[in-house]
Structure 1
């Protein structure tokens, strides 16, 4: 990231990383800010750990791990932290523990196997202050008529199957001078909804918007609506990853 920024962000897992880094379906970034180290998501497997080693990043320095939502491609890497012999603090919402499905396929996490070596910090507030300049917030409210989670995602409560509205979805905000950096996992509740909520809550312009925007299965008209809406917010830099989709990335690059 530019030397003009005080925050250092390293992408450790993404669908399209180049050699010598390993790529997989998933997302993970390492944040370094004011002497603090934290992870936002952990990808699907141990790829984020292998890439950290390639890049010379010491994950034993990480204090907090934020889980944007509990799909396997964002929280699946947690179990590979056991050999570090450190009880990482994992920040998440209570709803993250619900079993998750995409149609009939289980897409969640076996949380019980992780409880012995991870310290789960369950947050109830809409905004959690991690440090003087780092916050997590969510879920963003639904505000427009063109963004909602895909209807094939479900959770189970007891023996009841319900549509998943991703009530656990967390996003990361980092204060950066007169603006903020906004990092999303998959933006299941809508990237425009998330951006609008972040600007309202933190009352600052967005210098960098990065992460997954979950447009890879969206129709062209929806992609156009989303990108047209994002342009109105006067965001300095938009850096799409993971589930954003080739079509949306192509249009974003063109704009």
Structure 2
């Protein structure tokens, strides 16, 4: 398994990789290539070219959730085969400012999209898992994130969010670009979906920016209780990823690496550590 992070919010000047708010992850697994999200612009394609990746040859694309900073230009030339997304033509807002996929994109490219509802194995050993935890709209309410449906606003329940799960020899590897529904909830959902399987690692955004230290520490401790061995956090401003990894070290939770280190370090800076 090989992972390259094409987009994160931190730039890498030494490698001329520009960052932006959003996430894009390229993965090679069992002879296939998968693209998770594309960030907020065409920068993912420019970074891919610098890293020697031909995006036209990617086997499958996955959209983790329906927010603009993960989906712009996704269907232009990002994958030669199908793109997978949850079947939700809704409008998403934060503080009533539109943050959804650019209007008309999904309908315009419907012939290239496989809409999934529930668990879906898109390739051998690669499964999409949607949320199964009840009352996630309480998280949406606290985060001031909402959905406009039939002319009315309601708290976002994140039923448009899904995890990309790889069944590796070391255990299950989870990718969820923002983990709006809560990373610990997601891990529990994956455990329930794959009973008896060990959770090896989780990669994605945890939305810990401006989260008090005591809550970050509590989250690190919950991951320890869930027996997660490794994590990589991206799409977070400031020192949020580094702060979380420091908390993980302090609580002896698990091995944690900020996503920007995987993009920027030399050599082998694009590989997730084994």
TM-score (norm 1): 0.86
How far, CA to CA, are the matches of 2:7 and 2:214 in structure 1? Answer: 29
In structure 1, the residue matched to 2:4 is 10
Contiguous gaps of at least 5 residues in structure 1: 1-6
**Taking structure 1 as reference, are residues 245 and 237 closer, same or farther at Cα in structure 2, changes over 3 Å only?**
farther
RMSD: 2.3
**Residues 210-246 of structure 1, C-alpha deviation per residue, up to 9 Å, x if partnerless?**
1101111323332222111011122221111113863
**Which shows bigger deviation, 131-140 or 48-57?**
131-140
**Which shows bigger deviation, 192-201 or 112-121?**
112-121
The answer to whether 1:170 aligns with 2:166 is: no
**CA drift at 1:104:** 2.4
In structure 1, the residue matched to 2:220 is 227
In structure 1, the residue matched to 2:53 is 57
**Which shows bigger deviation, 131-140 or 237-246?**
237-246
In structure 2, the residue matched to 1:3 is none
The answer to whether 1:45 aligns with 2:41 is: yes
In structure 1, the residue matched to 2:272 is none
**Residues 123-172 of structure 1, C-alpha deviation per residue, up to 9 Å, x if partnerless?**
112x111122111101141589xx82344111111211111111111011
2:114 to 115, 121, 128: 121
Runs of 4+ in 1 over 6 A off after TM superposition: none
**Taking structure 1 as reference, are residues 250 and 88 closer, same or farther at Cα in structure 2, changes over 3 Å only?**
same
The answer to whether 1:74 aligns with 2:70 is: yes
**Residues 94-125 of structure 1, C-alpha deviation per residue, up to 9 Å, x if partnerless?**
22x21111112111113424544461211112
**Residues 55-76 of structure 1, C-alpha deviation per residue, up to 9 Å, x if partnerless?**
0001111132111111111112
1:201 to 180, 185, 193: 193
Contact 2:8 2:22 (C-alpha < 8 Å) held by counterparts: yes
**Residues 7-64 of structure 1, C-alpha deviation per residue, up to 9 Å, x if partnerless?**
1111010012412111000001011112211111111001111110000001111132
Q: Secondary structure of the equivalent of 2:124?
A: coil
In structure 2, the residue matched to 1:98 is 90
**Taking structure 1 as reference, are residues 140 and 227 closer, same or farther at Cα in structure 2, changes over 3 Å only?**
farther
**Taking structure 1 as reference, are residues 231 and 143 closer, same or farther at Cα in structure 2, changes over 3 Å only?**
farther
In structure 1, the residue matched to 2:139 is 148
In structure 1, the residue matched to 2:150 is 158
How far, CA to CA, are the matches of 1:167 and 1:85 in structure 2? Answer: 24
**Taking structure 1 as reference, are residues 247 and 30 closer, same or farther at Cα in structure 2, changes over 3 Å only?**
closer
**Taking structure 1 as reference, are residues 142 and 217 closer, same or farther at Cα in structure 2, changes over 3 Å only?**
farther
Contact 1:173 1:181 (C-alpha < 8 Å) held by counterparts: yes
Contiguous gaps of at least 5 residues in structure 2: 250-274
**Which shows bigger deviation, 237-246 or 190-199?**
237-246
Q: Secondary structure of the equivalent of 1:109?
A: coil
What is the aligned residue count?
A: 242
